[in-house]
Structure 1
Amino acid sequence: MAGIKSINLDGEEIYVFNSAIYIFESSSGSTLEVDMIVSEVTLRKYQERDSLITEIELEDGGQISSFMFLKAVPGKLPRLSLFCEIDPEESYEGLLRIQEDHPDFPDIEAGITLEDIRKVEMPNEKITLKLNLPINQVEWLKERKNKELTELFRGLLEEYLERIE
């Protein structure tokens, strides 16, 4: 079974933790499908897209370039799943074939945790806090720029979390 060596989405190479590429054969036809475990940052960047120009380099040296559509697939880990119709001019030699009546999809989540993914790329998230503080502290906070406060709170939280763990 051929594996993915690298993948580009709309011209940008993405980091993939694990992946599977296969032909899904059903009564309505066959599709080329690519399932990937990616970082939360990558998922957020692409999840709202309908389609992507996809360039795949296979481990056996093969290349697949296609306009692929995004589909939602539930899972515990951040995942992108792409599909496209089979190109009749391509041979797709070495790719796993999965029939509709025997859906033995590869388990690409095995052995990977969200903590492993976040060690590679940690997402940032905006948060709004409502605090009840003395007026002099509120005034001091209002005089600071957002970037300065972000760095301050990040440092304070890291110190605090190290102490309690």
Structure 2
Amino acid sequence: MVGVKSVKLDGESIYVFNSAIYLFESASSCSLELGLIVSEVAFKKYKDMESLIVEIELDDGRILSSFMYLRTLPGRLPQINLFCELDETENYEGFHSVSENDSVFPNIEEGITLEDIRKVEMPNEKATLKLTLPIDQVEWLKNQKASDLNSIFKDLIYVYMNKQAREEH
């Protein structure tokens, strides 16, 4: 069975945690499907796009370039599915084939956790805090750069999280 070595979306390489490439055959058509487990950062970047130019390097050295449509799939991990209709399947020997009547589809989430993904690429999100502090601390905070405060709070919270984890065990 053919495996995916690397993927580029609109010319940009993305980190792929797991993938499945296969032919999906229905009564009326055949499509090339590419399921990808990606980072939350990549998922947020691409999730609202309708279509992309996709370059797929396969384990056997072949390179497929195609205009593909994108859909997001529900699951516990950030997952996108790319697909395009095929007129002919002769260039796709060695590809796994799935029929619309099959009850089992490739499970690309198996063996991967969100923690594994975040070790490679941790997403950042904005947080707004409402605090009541002594005036001297408020004045000090107001005189700091946002990037310095982000670093201070990130480090402080990790120290506190690790302390709590040690106390729980």
Alignment match, 1:131: 131
Question: How many residues of Structure 1 are paired with residues of Structure 2 in the alignment?
Answer: 165
In 2, the alpha carbon distance for the partners of 1:16 and 1:121 equals 11
* Superposed displacement of residue 61, structure 1: 1.6
TM-score by length of 1: 0.94
1:117-148 superposed Cα distances (whole Å, 9 cap, x missing partner): 11111111110011111222222211211101
Counterparts of 1:19-38 in structure 2, within 5 Å, are: 19-38=19-38
Q: 1:161 Cα shift?
A: 1.9
Shift of 1:28: 2.7
Aligned-partner Cα distance in 1 for 2:108–2:62: 21
The one-letter amino acid of 1:156's match is L
Match of 1:45 in 2: 45
Amino acid of the structure 2 residue aligned with 1:65: S
**Cα distance, 1:87 vs structure 2:** 4.5
Indicate the SS of the match to 2:25: strand
The DSSP-based 3-state class of the residue aligned with 1:163 is: helix
Q: Aligned residue for 1:6?
A: 6
Distance 1:103 1:121 in 2: 33
DSSP 3-state at the match of 1:80: strand
Structure 2 gap ranges (5+)? none
Q: Does 1:102 align with 2:102?
A: yes
**Deviates further, 133-142 or 108-117:** 133-142
Deviation at 1:155, TM superposition (A): 1.5
% same residue: 58
Separation of aligned partners in 2, 1:161 and 1:153: 12
Question: Structure 1 unaligned runs (5+)?
Answer: none
Please state if 1:157 is matched with 2:161. Answer: no
Q: Match for 1:110: what amino acid?
A: E
Counterparts of 1:103 and 1:29, CA distance in 2: 18
Against the structure 1 CA distance between its residues 33 and 103, is the aligned structure 2 distance closer, same or farther, given a 3 Å change threshold?
farther
Segment drifting more, 135-144 vs 34-43 = 135-144
Q: State the one-letter code of the partner of 2:29.
A: G
* TM score, norm. by length of structure 2: 0.92
